[in-house]
């Protein structure tokens, strides 16, 4: 079958990117160009899961943008929350330098982003009087909006809160038989990053004719409490793990107010609902937390293996990586 084109996978080593890459590789229809800041270090892994080549790309280094996008027809777009300003600049670059070349961009975003698909006032929080919606969610919408404004056909795949982020900062406590979280008794339909990657791959494979200007919410198959999460982890790991409710004030001290504001949406039911979008895209039920932990994803690894690895360690207790995020302005 004919090749569809060359797809640039940004964040190919990340939680969603590697699943998207592996799923697209199985179609055999794309020339897959993965990106890395350190090409030599990342190439062996990225090629092992299906990349044809690996190029240097760094949102903080504009000199890498032009060569990385040479000949590219499709883009899987993913970036760290703290790099929203650089992502907006890159989107503007795509509109100015690659608009006639790029057929489709699929952007990873977050369920609840303030968008033109919702009657959602960014100045009104869903449960905190006098507060705006979480800054991180406002920025997730900015990350979509800048691509739309650039004029490239855009699809957004909005994940619920990731299963693999849920306990990543609690590994040392887990080894001692417990974990902390401020979520309390509220249930959330936590999503597998593998599912989000698969959904993104489907959108890229089926193309902009079907998916441009579409916004998909990807969630888990059922809402779970943290006690239920602890029970699934205990069974998968073979060791008892207890959930301990953490004071939100302590969580704020550990990770900063911006992340704490986002977690308020995990504490008030905002992420409880289950969306049918993943089933409608793929024809199958979303992955449960237990299956995420025990079954290999498209890239080959299980969630349990990832939990105890260094992969995906994004947050450090005592470090507020979003301290300056409020200073960012729309490009």
If we measure between CA atoms, which residue out of 116, 122, 110 comes closest to residue 193? 110
Distance (Å, whole) CA 102 – CA 266: 36
- Per-residue pLDDT, 313: 72
Total of domains in the chain: 1
What is the DSSP track for 241-264? -EEEEPPHHHHHHHH-HHHHHHHH
Which burial class, exposed, middle or buried, applies to 150 when counting CB atoms under 10 A from its CB (0-12, 13-18, 19+)?
A: buried
Q: Which residues of the chain have pLDDT under 70?
A: 312
For residue 98, what are its two tokens?
């690659």
Residue 140 lies in a domain: yes
- Per-residue pLDDT, 312: 66
Domain that holds residue 210: 5-314
Residue 160 lies in a domain: yes
CB 110 within 8 A of CB 136: yes
Residue 31 lies in a domain: yes
Distance (Å, whole) CA 215 – CA 279: 14
CB atoms within 10 A of CB 92: 15
Q: What is the domain-level CATH number for residue 140?
A: 3.40.50.720
Residue 199 lies in a domain: yes
Residue 329 lies in a domain: no
- Per-residue pLDDT, 143: 96
Q: Which residues contact 142 (CB under 8 A, 6 or more apart)?
A: 84, 88, 330
Residue 326 lies in a domain: no
Residue 323 lies in a domain: no
Residue 328 lies in a domain: no
Reported pTM = 0.95
């Amino acid at each position: 079958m004919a090749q569809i084109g060359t797809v640039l996978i940004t964040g190919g080593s990340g939680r969603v990117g590697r699943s998207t890459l592996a799923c697209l590789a199985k179609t055999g229809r794309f020339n897959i160009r993965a990106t890395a800041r350190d090409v030599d270090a990342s190439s062996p892994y990225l090629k092992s899961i299906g990349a044809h080549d690996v190029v240097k790309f760094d949102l903080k280094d504009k000199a890498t943008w032009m060569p990385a996008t040479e000949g590219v027809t499709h883009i899987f777009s993913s970036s760290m929350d703290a790099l929203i300003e650089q992502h907006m600049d890159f989107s503007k670059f795509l509109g100015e330098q690659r608009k006639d070349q790029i057929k489709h961009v699929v952007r990873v975003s977050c369920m609840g982003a303030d968008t033109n698909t919702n009657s959602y006032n960014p100045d009104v929080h869903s449960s905190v009087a006098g507060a705006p919606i979480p800054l991180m969610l406002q920025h997730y919408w900015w990350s979509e909006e800048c691509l739309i404004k650039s004029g490239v056909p855009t699809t957004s795949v909005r994940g619920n809160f990731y299963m693999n982020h849920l306990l990543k900062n609690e590994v040392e406590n887990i080894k001692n038989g417990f974990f902390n979280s401020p979520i309390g008794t509220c249930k959330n339909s936590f999503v597998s990053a593998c599912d989000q990657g698969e959904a993104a791959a489907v959108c890229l494979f089926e193309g902009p004719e079907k998916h441009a200007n579409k916004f998909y919410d990807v969630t888990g198959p059922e809402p779970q409490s943290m006690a239920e999460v602890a029970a699934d982890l205990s069974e998968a790991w073979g060791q008892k793990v207890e959930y301990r409710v953490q004071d939100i004030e302590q969580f704020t001290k550990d990770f900063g107010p911006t992340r704490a504001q986002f977690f308020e949406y995990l504490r008030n039911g905002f992420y409880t609902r289950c969306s049918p979008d993943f089933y409608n895209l793929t024809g199958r039920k979303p992955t449960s937390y237990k299956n995420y932990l025990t079954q290999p994803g498209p890239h080959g690894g299980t969630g349990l293996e990832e939990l105890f690895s260094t992969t995906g360690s994004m947050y450090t207790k005592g470090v507020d990586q979003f301290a300056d995020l409020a200073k960012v302005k729309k490009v």
